[in-house]
Each structure stands twice: as structure tokens, then as C-alpha cells.
Chain A
């Protein structure tokens, strides 16, 4: 022990690392009355670390090339050890990061944390937000799905409104459209920006430690007993918060990993087709709504950028000398109104401009967007400056240690209200298409696993029916072991397929496929596929249940939903078939399933619905082969976080008993 102390002293005398840590993280005097809203700063820091770590490991496998980016992401999901965990952790991590940071900012807004002498602290935070937005946007482009591509196109085109806009946009693209150079530079910058964020966070913390944290009362500390050392009081409290946060994050990673994602992003980027509903990630929705609400391109873009940049000026727009909203009876309600306004803006951004809210008396989404955009700017430009001058404030307590009247129950009610509101905001589109029949699937729910019999039957249907036109290029024969086949059976299944191999004379010859080969489709290329299918392209089915809104239910409805006689008002084109579940009602695929086309191993002939159910189960497995392992790991992780959180709760109570 003594030796260690000597080494520490020797180092510290030359490089004051240990005294710095001691001073800034252990004894750092912190207001003793910080509530749980103050947890979110440290949570944001931890999230950033997890994002950087998972990002670096993902970058070891990701290929930033338009030809291989999409496939390399699927490679990570299917072949890399725990690749699915790293990717889902990273993708949901972006969402978690924004939730935490937005709460952190709203907290600053409520308690006036940006007021003198903390203006620069706030402004550095806004810079971090801007860097985060850029990083998140570029990260979303990397999987090179449809949303990636069209998101990149739309966002980069925003810059076209500025003088020399066209040159700027071409400079951003490195070409005349979003393409390989764009993807490459986005990857390079997506890797760089998090480290810039780390740099700005260091400045953010230096600025914070200069005057210390603000607190819920918003008054400066006056006596020593107003402060407590950061460690152990806030380390334990932050760790307790981390336990709850980790639980929420893990829930999404393991049990609902695509909740915040868009099915369209599981369709590879196609520069010729824009998805019918293009929406940004949820954390950009309010800004997207502002952009769309203004019917002029230039002013729309200015308003959108203005909505973010106005945050820089809050320290001066808010004229009130009192920091905490606790003592500002009017501002308190205006603040919550502003929060609600931001949520409504988010909803507006999620729905198409033509959407009509029938439950709000036929209010159109466009009008609602304009109203809420107006309120957004009204809050900053008019309410904040004027309220500070005319508002009658309650009397402030003399010190942090003086007991003040607290309306705890009110605060809790408001928090619940906000959580309720959050729960109601779904990033998914309100779709006006036919409601899907709900099937019960063996793999549904937190305990669901794939029914092995259904998988094998489904694979049989795939082989005998679907494989005539569709491929499964992300599935390899050896993956079929998950269906319950042994090595010899897999070898026999593979041998029925032929693959092109170049022999020693340079000729292309056909050889039986091996277990390591993929279940490629019957066509050599897209042109051949279209030529054989009346101009339509049978999509690869590897990800089909993830790539369609409604997932397995949609595919099931499509397979069983053909109608031989279309309604009178529908004109069916030559070679097309009527299927009300298919967007537009007309589909090129002939009804693929009919009774009697397959006989299962036990000699039974399944009904059409049974066949559809089996093949959809198989396709769901093809799209999410990691599902069972994911849920299993997920249970361990959730149980871990429960134990960790309970332990930390009692430890925290014990440590905090003496703080009055």
C-alpha cells in the first residue's frame, strides 16, 4: 500500500493527474439539493462512451462502399460474433442519446441553468447538440438503405437554398448526386465527429466546474453546508440512474430493436425510387415539421436552422433575473406549454402534410404545423423577453439549507403527464391503408421462439414455390442448421442448388452448391429477373418481414389476400392481380399459394392459410435469425440491471441518510 502511495505521489508531483481527478471528481463541491433531472448529464456522457466503443467495433466490419455497405451491415448482423448486439446497441443508442440530451436541455430551460455566469456552458451544450445532429444524420446514411439514401438526398439539398447553393451541394456530394464519394466522406466524418464532441464536452465540463452546477432552487450557494462532495453522493446517484437507463436501453436493444427504425431502411438504396413516406429519425421530427410548415423553400430552411440556432441566444432572450421556474409562476406553465408544443411538432413531422386529424375537428396537419411553429418562435422571441420583465416572482429562499415549500406531488404529476405524452408519440406513420388481420406468431412477444415444424414446412414452401422467382441472398445453407437440419441434410439440400464456378480452363461451369453458399435467386441479374416477370422485380426475401410496415402480418395478409374479382372501380392492368393489401392494389406476383401444391413430410396437405403461416414463419426467421439468442441474452441483461439498480438504490439511501 505504502509503495503504491509513493508511486502515486511521484507521478502526481510531475503530472497532477491524481490530484486533478481527486479535485474534480471526488471532492468537487456540488449543491446538495440536485434532483433526478440532474442525472441526465452524466447519462449523456456514458451514452457517448458506449456509442464510441460500439461504433469503433462496428467500423472494423463495416464497408463504406455503395456496392457493399448494405450487405456488410447484414454481414455484421448474421456472421460477426455478437454483431447484432453491437449494431442494435449503436442504432438504439442514437435514440437514447437524444432522449437523454433533450431532457438535459429541457432541465436547463426549466431551472434557468443558462443564466449568468453559465452562458458559455449553455452555448457549448448547443454546439454539442449541433455536432450530435450531424453525427446522427451521417450515421443513419451508412447502412445505405432507402431511408439512408433519401435522407441524405433531402438533407444535403437543404443547402441548395443558400447563395452558390448548387456548388455547395455538389461539394457535399462529391458528384452530381448522393453516391459513393458521399458515403465515403460521411463515414470518415461520422467517425471523426464523436471525438470533436468529446473535445467540446471537455470544455463544457471546464465551464461547469468553474462555477459549479446550478440547482433546483436556482440560487447560488452561500455557505459550506450547501455543498456536498461529488463522491460518493452523486457518483452513487448517477450510477443508480444508470441502472434504470441501462434497463430501458437494453429493453429496446434486445426486445424491440427496430421500434425507432423505419422498415424502408431494410430495402437497399435505390436512386430511382423514393419511398412513399419519407420521414427523418424521430429526434429530427420537430425541426422537420418546421421546415415543412413554411410554404417557401428558402424561408422554410431558414426557419429550420433558426429553430436550432436560436438556442444560442436563450441566455439573453430570457430577461428574468430569477433562474428556477419554481419561483416563476407564469413561466412554469409557459415552459410546460413549450414542451407540449415541441411534442406536437414531433407528431406533425411524423405525419404527412395532408394528414387530417378527425378527432381534432378535421384540423389539417399543415395548419397544426404552422400553428405550433409560430408558438415555438413566439416562446423564444416574445414570451421569454417580456415575461422576465413583467412576471411577479415568488420570494426566493435565503439559502439551499433553508427549507422551502415544495409541491412535490405537483412535480410528480407533471412528470407522469410528460411520460404519458411521450408514450403517445409514435414515430410510426398513421397509415391509411387497409388494416392488417392480426395473426398470432410463435416468435412474437418477449418469450416467443420459432416453431421448428413451421420453419421446416415454411422452408419447403419457399423451395417449392417462392424460390422459382425469389432469392434469399443473406441466408446460407449452413444457417439452415437453425431449422433443425443436421450437416448431412444441409449438404444434401445445398447439392440440389447449382452455383456458377470458373474452372481451370476459365469456363463457367455449374457445380452443386456447398453449405457455405447463399440461397441466391434464380436470376443472374436484375434485367433477367424483370424480363422474366413482366417488368416487375421479385424482391430478395432475406429481409422481407423487416422491410415492410406490418412485418409478418403484412406478408401473411398479402399471401392470403388475393381476390379474383376486383371491385368495379379498380381497373386491373394486363398481367396484374388484385390484392387489396398491396400498395395500389395491383401486384405482378400471381397468387403463389393454392391448396394441394405442397405435401408435407407427414403426408398432409396444408390449407392455404396454414401454408402462408408456415412460410411467413420461415421468412421471419430468415430476416431475424438472431431473435432467439437475442431474447435469451436480453433476459440476462434485464435481470442484471434490475439487481444492479436495487443494490444501488439501497446503497444510495444509506449514503444519503446523513444529508439534511
Chain B
């Protein structure tokens, strides 16, 4: 007994049978099951609960004198927290946007009322090196911000790229001021509860 003997050759215009219905439903349920089964495995590669729980970091700003900066680690990345002097703020604010590679005003890069605090992700937007200039002994480049040792990109006192090859300004992490001397990295607003 071969297959063709057992199964009527399907003519295109035949009525849908009970068998067709069952086959379709079973296939749909089966496909659903495979998808449902795959999800836990895919999701297991997402950040685990403890990694998510560590994704906020509180930083005490009171210990950083004006003109200096510290590096904190947030989600495995260096975050530059810089206490800017009035001179540095002024320099950043006075640059015409037309001179910038990635135009952004200084106001857009700090929190309102906290102009002296510049908080940026310390990773060059070119190919991921860590720019120098966060320590007083390091070269800050001619724009007074940071200088990337890999391919010579220069950043200003607002963390904006002023000389390539980097295409974009240093990124701004999500953070919020808990009070004038403390910030929390990783959230855009303080949640209660």
C-alpha cells in the first residue's frame, strides 16, 4: 500500500475536510509550543536578576573639588563625573554650534541648575577606547576636555567631540540628582516604592 493509494490525490477545489482542520489546528498548536519552548532559552541570555539589580549606582559628589573628575563604574562602563570650573562652563557655553561636529548646546548635556556637574560615559564614540584627561596628570587636549589616545579624537569641556575621527559626543548616561551632592546613575527619575 503506497501513499497515493491511501491518500486521495488532492484536487484543488475539494472541500476542506475534518482532517485538514485537525492538521491545521495541530500545526498551529505545535508551532506555538515550539515558540513557547524557545522563549525561556532566549530569555536566559538576557541580563540576570542580580545584574539588573546592580544597574544603578549612587555617587557622592561632595568629595570632588572643582576642576577635577572621578571615574565610577556603572554597568561595567567608566563614567566620567567632572566638577567643572566657571571658566570651563563658560568655554563650553560660548562655542558656536556651527563649529561642532555633533551640534549640541552645553545646556542639553547637563541637568538644569547643576551646570558644574558634567557626567558622561567615558568611552570614545569612535571605536570604544577610554579617552585620557580624567586625571589631573593626563593630557586633556587643546579643547580642555578629553583626548582619545587611540586615534586622536578630542573632546571639549562639555564632552563634545571637536576633532575626529569620532563621529559623536560622549554619551550621557541616565542619572538623577538625589540631592545637590548625590546622583544616582542608571535611572532618569527617582522611584518610590
Contacts and interface: CB of A to CB of B under 8 A. Distances in A.
A648 B41 CA distance: 26
B22 A651 contact: yes
A659 interface: yes
Nearest to B46: A81
B44 A83 contact: yes
Contacts of A53: 41
Given A57-B45, A516-B53, A651-B19, A81 B1 contact: no
Interface string B35-70: 010011101111011110110000000000000000
Given A57-B41, A57-B44, A476-B50, A647 B22 contact: yes
Contact of B1 (A61, A225, A650): A225
B12 interface: no
Given A487-B193, A488-B193, A648-B26, A78 B1 contact: no
A224 interface: yes
Contacts of B30: 239, 644
B19 A659 contact: no
B25 interface: yes
Contacts of A60: 44-45
Contacts of B23: 651
Interface in B157-193: 191-193
B73 interface: no
Given A60-B44, A81-B46, A516-B53, A643 B29 contact: yes
Contacts of B2: 224, 229
Interface string A48-88: 00000110010011000000000000010011111101100
Contacts of A478: 53
B44 A80 contact: yes
A525 B105 CA distance: 55
B22 A650 contact: yes
A654 interface: yes
B13 interface: no
A658 interface: yes
A650 B22 CA distance: 7
A279 interface: no
Given A79-B49, A478-B53, A487-B193, A654 B44 contact: no
B33 interface: yes
Contacts of A85: 40
Contacts of A515: 53
Given A78-B49, A654-B18, A658-B6, A644 B29 contact: yes
B3 interface: yes
B162 to A, nearest CB: 33
B56 to A, nearest CB: 10
A655 B19 contact: yes
B192 A224 contact: no
Contacts of A10: none
A228 interface: yes
Contacts, number: 87
B1 A32 contact: yes
Given A81-B40, A81-B44, A86-B40, A229 B3 contact: yes
* Among B22, B36, B45: residue with most chain A CB under 10 A: B22
Interface string A625-660: 000000000000000100110011011001100110
A515 B58 CA distance: 13
Q: How large is the interface on A (under 10, 10 to 19, 20 to 34, 35 or more residues)?
A: 35 or more
A478 B53 CA distance: 8
Contact of A476 (B26, B29, B53): B53
A27 interface: yes
Given A27-B3, A32-B1, A516-B53, A54 B33 contact: no
A367 interface: no
Nearest to B192: A488
B173 to A, nearest CB: 19
Contacts of B46: 81
A225 B1 CA distance: 4
A647 B26 contact: yes
A88 B9 CA distance: 46
A323 B3 CA distance: 28
Contacts of A177: none
A54 B48 contact: no
Given A79-B49, A228-B6, A478-B53, A54 B41 contact: yes
* Among B2, B18, B23, B44: residue with most chain A CB under 10 A: B44
Contacts of A647: 22, 25-26, 29
A227 interface: yes
Contacts of A487: 191-193
A431 interface: no
* Among A80, A83, A488, A654: residue with most chain B CB under 10 A: A80
A32 B19 CA distance: 20
Interface string A416-430: 000000000000000
Nearest to A504: B63
A27 B30 CA distance: 22
A258 interface: no
A213 to B, nearest CB: 16
Interface string B1-23: 11100100000000000110011
Interface in A78-116: 78-83, 85-86
Contacts of B44: 57, 60-61, 80-83, 86
A227 B54 contact: no
A43 to B, nearest CB: 16
A640 B36 contact: yes
B50 A79 contact: yes
A444 interface: no
A241 B6 CA distance: 23
A486 interface: yes
Contacts of A476: 50, 53
A425 to B, nearest CB: 30
A81 B43 contact: yes
Nearest to A82: B40
B50 to A, nearest CB: 5
Contacts of A651: 19, 22-23, 26
A341 B95 CA distance: 90
A634 to B, nearest CB: 13
A654 B21 CA distance: 11
Contacts of B51: 79
A113 B48 CA distance: 49
Contacts of A81: 40, 43-44, 46, 48-49
A227 B3 CA distance: 10
Nearest to A653: B22
Contacts of B50: 75, 79, 476, 516
Contacts of B43: 81-82
Contacts of B48: 61, 75, 79-81, 83
B64 to A, nearest CB: 13
Nearest first, the 8 A-B pairs at minimum CB distance are A82-B40, A79-B48, A651-B22, A81-B43, A225-B1, A79-B49, A229-B3, A647-B26
25 contacts: A27-B3, A32-B1, A57-B45, A61-B44, A61-B48, A79-B48, A79-B51, A81-B49, A82-B43, A82-B44, A83-B48, A85-B40, A228-B1, A476-B53, A488-B192, A515-B53, A516-B50, A516-B54, A644-B29, A647-B22, A650-B22, A651-B19, A654-B18, A654-B22, A659-B6
Given A229-B3, A647-B22, A654-B22, 19 more contacts: A27-B3, A32-B1, A53-B41, A57-B45, A81-B48, A81-B49, A82-B43, A82-B44, A228-B1, A229-B2, A239-B30, A476-B50, A487-B191, A487-B193, A515-B53, A644-B33, A647-B26, A651-B22, A659-B6
